[in-house]
Structures are given as structure tokens and as C-alpha cells.
Amino acid sequence: MKVDHVKLATSNTGKLREYQRLAPNSPIVLELMTEFASTPKFDEAAPTFAENAAGKAIYYSQFTVSVVLAEDSGLVVPALDGRPGVHSARYAGEKATDVDRNRKLLEEMRGLSGEQRRARFVCVSALAERGRALAVVSDFVEGLIARGPRGTGGFGYDPIFFVPDLAKTFGEATPEEKDRLSHRGKAFRKMLAAIEEHDFPARAAARQ
């Protein structure tokens, strides 16, 4: 397959670096969507990760001729009826920090133990071109909510998400360890396989 370009529906350079790290040998060239900052923001108000991811990809793909990749991800805790779920980034308020969100979750889980502390990180990735969805994939990683933050790596809920297969939190894990097991890493590798199998970007370019 020839090298093609995929635009990420974000202006976050850190997220771009993470995606590039996840696929060092891929023939797909990942770039930031330069139109993202000047485009009216998509309202991620749907009740599921899949609807938000697909909706975001479809929406932003209408503002560029390139194929667009978008995602929605978050932490699901069954003992809290699935919270924080699709509201993971806004769980403690729009302007809350990672520390604020972790503190709120730990407070809500006070008194819970064993299986009650089970949780999973979920990621849904969607690919779209000119307002049409091309592929939607998802994956997850199971873990436990730790009693308190551990480690300084990663971001978001990583310091309190304990992964039994690593015997450490994602906050304590190396980038390589996290990439191998993370929900985002697994979902993104599925998407790369779909792109290469169906040649989506090349087909899109042919229609331009």
C-alpha cells in the first residue's frame, strides 16, 4: 500500500505524538487537522463512546478533503453505574484538572473493595471522509481503581488505574508498556489494520 495521509480531529500535538508512537512502522502518515482550531466545536453530547466518535469524525470530515480520524474514550466503573463514562473529561467540571477528577472518583469509591473496584478504559476510533463514516472500531483494557494515585506518567486517570497484567498503574508504566496494553493503543492498531486492508485513504484520494 502506498503512503497516505490521515488527519486527526484534534489540534493537540501531544496526542499526535502518542498516535505516531503507537504506529512507528505504519505506511500511514498522521497529521493534525489544521482546520480544527477554526472549525466550530462538535458537541460530544451522545450517550455512548461510539456515537461521539463517529459523530465527531463525520462532522470534522466535512471541513477537509482528507480522511479524518476521531476518537472518544473514557473510564467505566460498573460499581458506579458506568460513571464517569462518556463524561470522563468533564467528570469534575469543565475546568477541572486531572487531579480534581481523580480525587472525585476516589471519593466516590470510598468504602468499595475487591470486585467493586473493577474498571475498564474504553476507546472507540472512527474514520470518516467528506461526511461519510468509513470505519468504527473499539477496544478496552480491564483494571482496578487503586486506593490512591501512583506514578507520574501518563495523563487523566492513569495514576489510579491499576493494571493486573503489569502489576502497576498506567501512571507507573513506561510508555511502551502502556502502548502495548492500553485501550487507545489496541483500538488504533485495529483501525490501522482496517485502513490498510480496505485502502480507505487511497480510495478517498482517487475520488478527489
List the catalytic residue out of 4, 43, 72, 139: 72
* Catalytic residue check, 72: yes
Return d(Cα 7, Cα 5) in angstroms, integer: 7
Beta bridge partners of 84: 76
Find the distance separating the first CA and the last CA of the chain, reported in whole Å: 18
179: Cα within 13 Å, side-chain hemisphere: 13
Active site residues: 72
